Chains A and B, each alone.
Chain A
């Protein structure tokens, strides 16, 4: 009853092609955005902002990136962790070589560098398909992490092997390090994520997105109708890596402040982001956010309840957490293989009639 498009007529092409064609959706998204921008930073405490919302935003962005490649273009990649690392290390080099550079430009430039690296490692996808490609992307994962350790120039010859963030301001507000206000970091991250997610939503609706989906559904047929696999696949790798690189740069600069090769950007991270898009829903932008929320919140909630609530020892709780995480993932896959986004879709279908089903 409340979620009904009755009476909403589309009288122009523009209205027909709107991102959110239904008024309720439009209002809902605007309300969420308003709350996120205007209410959350001022009324939510610092722990929640910096330990949950910030990683949630950053992983959402990475998930959007991987979803473009895997969900929309059908190219399974296990190199996400390393690509985030490329973003982080580029950001580090950029901000130490050019201290005056605006942070947003640092983020975007790191994204561009990562896009170039991603396209390079995407080249084999033109010949290799399916799980063979997934394993081939592991080559990128391991090679890049090795490079992070061995190439001293990348981390300015720091003896600890770590890269650490330098104090930087954004229009006069301190953004990096421990002393920066969590709300400021959150707002910057939120703005970046909101704009980039909107961009992603539009790219996947457009010519590129359609060519990606054609490649995903059947590459031979896509080629026959005039889509060039080279352009489609490499653009998917490029755009996806751009998003992942920006996410990596934000992860390093805004969230962690320090990072070290395989510890931060190892294969665990690749799997984590992959889980997000599978649990959230392949081929949906919304799913990336839902999946990221699920996988950022779940471990924290689990370890909190087990260690603080039930009084288990940390080691025991850690092992039990693995078992529960794994079981939950399998449970969700069985329950709804198309992810949380599909559950949301079904809920919306139900809501059209609820509460008067006849």
Chain B
């Protein structure tokens, strides 16, 4: 029983990590209808940049270690600055020229963006695996291990807390602030939003900046867990079933979807995997999401699309 419990808890916490990536997707999809495949690479890029700032690496010449190493808080602020700059750049150079294009074109654009960011991240900071040392706690939570014999990773608990804070902050931002209302207006109808004086360009830059910051959080968590490396960009693929399960345009959906996928994946790997030769976690999440979709085609919390002729 305690083993099952441990599996479920570890699944829940992994699910939270997936949700962190899925959140970035949802933000951008909600506000601009763009299916941003580059979210995972953005997390990688943010993680690389942060690791670079922390160690004081000079961009491009990643051989020389200068003495400019920043303390963690400064490095995080600097990385946030970089992600905001990136968002503005993307809006200026790309999005502005692709207004009114079909969703598939915008989706392809983000794939191109993923290539650019991946290459740029490696060019700037080098492609070796980096350790992200922010002083985040790691190892098992002692009292659970001693009292109940459960192994729960501290880092994942921190991730869960951070995710909870992030979602609360985003919810307040979307519901209560001026910009949040503008974002929801844009999400609802681009033209109507334009006609009441909301600047699409500004909104898009803000949304991409927000997604960039969410990507940074995801990058920190995943980077602290398994080092900043190329495979980080592949977590986008882990976040996709979470997305379709929860619905593309629902923030709570991203969280709940993450939890369901996390638990389902872990339980399947432990109890079902051995019978079919293991390594089922690559596709099980997709099959699980698919099963849910057959019942609810817009995801659990996605907005129901009413189609008329």
Contact A130:B103 (CB < 8 A) given known A322-B118, A329-B115:
yes
Nearest CB in chain B: distance from A223 CB, A:
9
Query: Which residues 135-151 in A have Cβ within 8 Å of B in the complex?
Result: 135-136, 138-139, 142-143, 145-146, 149-150
Query: For A354, what are the chain B residues with a Cβ–Cβ distance below 8 Å?
Result: none
Nearest chain A residue, comparing its CB with the CB of B124: A319
Flag whether A311 is at the interface (Cβ < 8 A). no
The reply on B114 being an interface residue by CB < 8 A is: yes
A99, CB-defined interface residue at 8 Å:
no
Main secondary structure of the interface of A (DSSP, over half): helix
Per the bound structure, the CA–CA distance linking A150 and B63 in Å amounts to: 42
Q: Which of B77-85, B187-195, B217-225, B274-282 faces chain A? A: B274-282
A102 within 8 Å of B (CB atoms): no
- A271→B286 contact, CB < 8 A: no
A136 touches B108 (CB 8 A): no
A323 partner, pick from B116, B241, B294, beta carbons under 8 A: B116
Contacts of B116 in A (CB 8 A): 322-323, 326-327, 330
Q: How large is the interface on B (under 10, 10 to 19, 20 to 34, 35 or more residues)?
A: 35 or more
Q: Is the CB of B123 within 8 A of A330?
A: no
Find chain A residues with CB under 8 A from B137 CB. none
State whether the Cβ of A285 lies closer than 8 Å to any Cβ in chain B: no
Q: What chain B residues lie within 8 Å of A142 (beta carbons)?
A: 282-283, 286
A325 on interface, CB distance cutoff 8 Å: yes
- If A323-B119, A330-B94 touch, does A136 touch B244 (CB 8 Å cutoff)? yes
User: A131-B248, A150-B277 are known contacts. Are A333 and B294 too (CB-CB below 8 A)?
Assistant: no
Is A329 within 8 A of B297, CB to CB?
A: no
Nearest CB of A to B308, in Å:
7
Q: Given A124-B293, A132-B244, A275-B108, does the pair A323, B98 have CB atoms closer than 8 Å?
A: no
- Classify the interface of chain B: helix, strand, loop or mixed: helix
| Interface assignment of A205: CB less than 8 Å from any CB of chain B | no
Report the separation of the CA atoms of residues A271 and B286 in the bound assembly, to the nearest whole angstrom: 18
Contact of B98 among A76, A143, A333 (CB under 8 A): A333
Contact A326 B279 (CB under 8 A): no
Q: How far, in Å, is A45 (CB) from chain B's closest CB?
A: 31
Q: Which residues of A contact B111 (CB under 8 A)?
A: 271, 274-275, 329
* A132/B109 contact (C-beta < 8 A), A319-B119, A326-B115 known: no
On whether the beta carbons of A322 and B97 are closer than 8 Å, the reply is: no
From A132, A321, A327, contact of B293 by CB (8 A)? A132
* Given known A138-B240, A278-B108, A334-B94, contact A128–B293 (CB-CB < 8 A): yes
A275 to B105, CA, bound (A): 10
Q: Which of B245-278 contact A (CB under 8 A)?
A: 248, 276-277
> Known contacts A142-B286, A321-B119; is A132 also within 8 Å of B299 by CB?
yes
- Complex Cα gap A142–B237 (Å): 10
- Do residues B97 and A139 form an inter-chain contact, with CB atoms below 8 A? no
Residues on the B chain within 8 Å of A323, using CB: 115-116, 119-120, 123
Residues in A whose Cβ lies below 8 Å from that of B108: 274-275, 278, 329, 333
Least CB separation from A130: chain B residue? B103
B114 contact set on A, CB distance < 8 A: 326
Q: Tell me, rounded to whole Å, the shortest Cβ–Cβ distance linking A251 to chain B.
A: 22
Q: Is A316 an interface residue, CB under 8 A from the partner?
A: yes
Q: Which of A145-187 contact B (CB under 8 A)?
A: 145-146, 149-150
Is residue A282 within 8 Å, beta carbon to beta carbon, of the partner chain?
yes
Instruction: Assess whether B290 is in contact with A220, with CB atoms less than 8 Å apart.
Output: no
B307 within 8 A of A: yes
- B109 with A333: CB separation less than 8 A: yes
A213 CA / B89 CA spacing, docked (Å): 37
Q: Does B103 lie within 8 Å of A146, measured CB to CB?
A: no
Give the chain A neighbours of B123 by CB distance below 8 A. 316, 319-320, 323
11 contacting pairs across A/B (C-beta < 8 A)? A124-B293, A132-B297, A138-B286, A139-B289, A142-B282, A274-B108, A324-B119, A325-B112, A325-B119, A326-B114, A333-B105
